Structure 1
Amino acid sequence: MIFDEYTIKSLIRPVPDFPKPGVTFRDITPLYHSPRAMRMVADSLIQRYVESPVTHIGAIDARGFLLGAVLAYELNKPLVLLRKAGKLPADTLRESYATEYSETTLEMHRDALSGGEQVLLLDDLIATGGTFLAAARVVRQCGANVYEAAAIIDLPDLGGSRSMQDAGIPTFTLCAFAEDEQ
């Protein structure tokens, strides 16, 4: 299936003033209502990583789980969950961080990685980069490497992809929205 950025972008719903005034939330749920678009997204990511040295898929809570499970299955790689605090039952590593509208903590099971792995981090979007940066710090605490951080959407006006690249984390997204773009 041929990737069509216009189709993907047309199915991402802008929700003004959510979760707080001044923030435009980019809602990917309409994308999941289109089997064609979802296949386009998944196939594009699978093709990008099928011959890469990625050893593990690191899916970020919660929308990253949707793509992470598909990629882990299709690429035959272990799935590592990076969850909000208090959601994992065993011993965890944790990292607190700020997003564009809150402060939160990300956790990963301490035994999810043992060192030397090449981890692909996945989430729905890159905004300020805080979530991906925290995920990368947790992965690196285990001695693993971040191969790349991938998302459906980049919001470059918020500076996250630039911050991640400055921190040595390569990024890949399927589309980008300017702050004033509908």
Structure 2
Amino acid sequence: MKNCLSNLALSLVLAAPLALAEQPVSTEPDGAALYQQHCASCHEGGVAKAPQLSLLQIMPPTSILRAMQGGVMQTQAAAMTDAQQRRLAEHISGHSLSEATMTSAAPECSAERSAFDFSARPDTAGWGVNLGNHRFYDRDLAGLTATDISQLELKWAFAFPGALRARSQPA
């Protein structure tokens, strides 16, 4: 019994420094520090075209990460590791990447709607009516009268899921 108590006392004396030892402190910067280091100078008014933080915060973390890993912010994010980019995307959006839902696939035209008549004369060139990219459709080209306008219905629209802006025409 005396031997057992001696071993217990010795174990407690030897284990005491381990219990008091500090837990290792992570030297990896958190999302807020990464934002200040890599993003704040532009996204807090330093660059006119850079969206403000309040706009970035409404984006899903997957979109923010995609911008850093292969999009418009790829050059600026090159100095960060993948883990740092993930922490930054989660910090900016306020959501975890693991809880982020992916956007659904864009709807596609039915087979009959996607048929294309190559022999037909084109009505437009690019986004506009002519090679100058003018967007004015005169009455003859539009084939509409003033009374027809109220009867128009939306047939299609461009979508950029998870994006705040389009930097160029998507064609």
Same fold (TM > 0.5)? no
Q: Which has the higher strand share?
A: 1
Which of the pair has more CA radius of gyration?
A: 2
**TM-score normalized by structure 2?**
0.22
Q: Which has the higher helix share?
A: 2
